[in-house]
Chain A
Amino acid sequence: MTSSSSRLIAIIRCGLLRARDAWLRFWFEPADPLPLGLIRILTGLMLTYSLCVWGLDLQAFFGDDLLQPREAIEMLHEGNAMFSLLLYVPQEWMFAALAASILVSLLFTAGAFTRVTSVLAFLITTSWSQRVPVANFGLDQIVGLLCLYLAIGPSEASLSWDSYRRHKKGLSTQLLPSARLALRLLQVHLCIIYLWAGFAKLKGETWWTGEALWRVIANQEYQTADLTWMAKIPWLPYLLAHITIVWEVFFCALIWNRTLRPLMLFIGVCIHLGIGAFLGMWTFGLIMIVPYLSFVSDKRLRAFITWPSSKRRALQTEESASTSE
């Protein structure tokens, strides 16, 4: 073997080893499970709320021959991998199924028996959504994927009844590779969502002409706050439409830049709070912000969560110092 070929092999080997290390670091470098704990609580609360709202009109939506007839839904599920456990629940047991689902969702929120309740929460989300597919929208999609990654990751390792029982002390500081995996899957999935949301808008003419955002504002059925005053300053909806497109399409690249990350998250929070406040979709607007926690530094989150107790400790130290004086 010539020296040049052995050098080439060494370079390739070195490159492969570096790629392997980068891969392992990206997906498995031990991470703080605290963001997962927070995401679990917020997702669980949203799932519970969504289930309670179903309860207000349970018979109409889940009745065998009413708004979402069982026969039609079975027809939609036929020949594909969609499933809903509710299709096996007799009509007279629907209220019991709802009560059980809410109970599991509350246990999941509290982080009790989380290894089991996280999987059940995912099955509950899927089953209730796929039983009434026509009534679904973005909220159900996002709750579904959050529950999936929370079932994969150690969402019980922080801010949970399970971890409290295990450690009998404050927040666990243990770093876990599985926490990194779940957070990365969530981050990558969010990037894919925004990329396709941006691409889909680029298929439409009105997102290029800037008129699209006005059309959303001028949609009576969505509107909860009158924004038609924007007709007097037309450049504003045009500008907002262009910002939305640029932000959505480039989110998947710019979010990984530490300097730009706060700006990307800030724009996202503004957009989603705007969707909540002006288009009346608070549930969707808020649940879209929840996965952002996977991008927030765990140190900042920890400082935020422990702020009240650290402040109390500082006050106690000050008090004891002044007493001894």
Chain B
Amino acid sequence: MSIFRKAGFLLLNLWIPFHVVAVFLAPSGMPPSSPLLVNAAELARPYNEALFLNHGYHYFAPDPGASTLVEWSIDRPGDIPLKGRFPDPQTSPRLLYHRYFMLAENVEAFSPEARPLILRGYAKHIADVHKADQVSLSFIRHYPASMVRIQAGGSLRDEDSYEMEPIGTWNFDAPPNRLPTSLTPVPVEHTSGRQFE
């Protein structure tokens, strides 16, 4: 074995434990966690991020709870508002439905600085699809029905299992084909949700 091959093999044998430890540490910082583990996960973070391995693997954990949907509403003068939700059960294939579901479920887990931009993106997408100037968004929490409720004849779609949290309203003044590059959401009086300025 040449000296280069020997050195390469030695490096490979050093990389293996490093890699395994880094992968093991990635989910360890998820709360609740000790400062020791949080710091260790932080140390491994650049390596895991670069290799797209920085995941928590918290599938349906710690407690499966309400699912989150995004409801949109477009006011139409002299008519009832146009409303919709995503994910839309009609979306097909199922993987595409799941992508929309994740948009609604995951957005609150992202940094508070980026979140308003992402929510504005949701509103902008809806505005483009429906050629609207103004779009309001709300989160809908859909709580899973308890066993007792189902035993008593209830269903998963009972109205009181939904809870609404208004997010805000965005105004896109220009026609869809000539949108300005910078969009500023304009708070609207009837909205009780958060307003982004």
| Total contacting residues, chain B, CB less than 8 A | 70
Chain B residues with CB under 8 Å of A139's CB are: 95
Least Cβ–Cβ distance between A208 and chain B, in angstroms = 10
A27 to B15, CA, bound (A): 12
- Across the interface, B102 reaches (CB within 8 A) one of A27, A137, A211, A234, namely A137
Most buried by B among A50, A129, A215, A237: A215
Assess the A76–B114 pair: CB atoms within 8 A: yes
- B61 adjacent to A185 (CB under 8 Å): no
Is B59 touching A69 in the complex (CB atoms < 8 A)?
Answer: no
Q: Which of B90-112 contact A (CB under 8 A)?
A: 93-103, 106-107, 110-111
Residues on B with C-beta less than 8 A from A141 are 52, 55, 57
Q: Interface code B124-152, partner A: CB below 8 Å = 1, 0 otherwise?
A: 11001000000000000010111100110
Residues 162-178 of B contacting A (Cβ, < 8 Å): none
Residue B196 interfacial (CB < 8 Å): no
Q: Check A75–B121 contact: CB distance below 8 A.
A: no
A71 at interface by CB-CB < 8 Å: yes
Interface residues of B in 25-66 (CB under 8 A from A): 27-28, 30, 32, 45-47, 49-65
Which residues of chain B are within 8 angstroms of A323 by Cβ–Cβ distance? none
Shortest C-beta distance, A322 to chain B (Å), equals 50
Scan residues 223-265 of chain A and give those whose CB is less than 8 A from a CB of chain B: 223-224, 228, 231-232, 234, 237
State which size class the interface on A falls in. Answer: 35 or more
Q: A76-B110, A215-B144 are in contact. Are A221 and B64 (CB under 8 A)?
A: no
Say which residue of B87, B110, B181 sits within 8 Å of A134 (CB atoms). B110
B51 in contact with A148 (CB, 8 Å) = yes
- Scoring A residues 158 to 202 as 1 if CB is less than 8 Å from chain B, else 0, what string do you get? 000000000000000000000001000100110011001100111
* CB closest chain-A residue, reference B106: A134
Nearest CB on B from A121, distance (A): 12
Tell which of A2-10, A79-87, A98-106, A305-313 binds the partner.
Answer: A79-87
Residue of B nearest to A211 (CB): B147
Q: Is A278 positioned at the interface, with any CB of B under 8 Å from its CB?
A: no
B147 / chain A contacts, CB cutoff of 8 Å: 211, 214, 218, 231, 234, 237
A-B CB proximity, top 8 nearest:
A204-B62, A200-B61, A204-B63, A72-B117, A203-B62, A218-B144, A81-B49, A231-B150
Given contacts A136-B106, A219-B67, 10 further A-B contacts (CB under 8 A): A57-B96, A66-B124, A130-B52, A188-B23, A197-B58, A201-B61, A207-B63, A215-B65, A216-B144, A219-B144
* Interchain residue pairs with CB less than 8 A apart (22): A69-B120, A75-B114, A76-B110, A80-B49, A82-B49, A129-B52, A137-B98, A137-B102, A139-B95, A185-B19, A188-B20, A201-B60, A203-B61, A204-B63, A204-B64, A216-B144, A221-B87, A222-B67, A228-B145, A231-B147, A231-B151, A283-B98
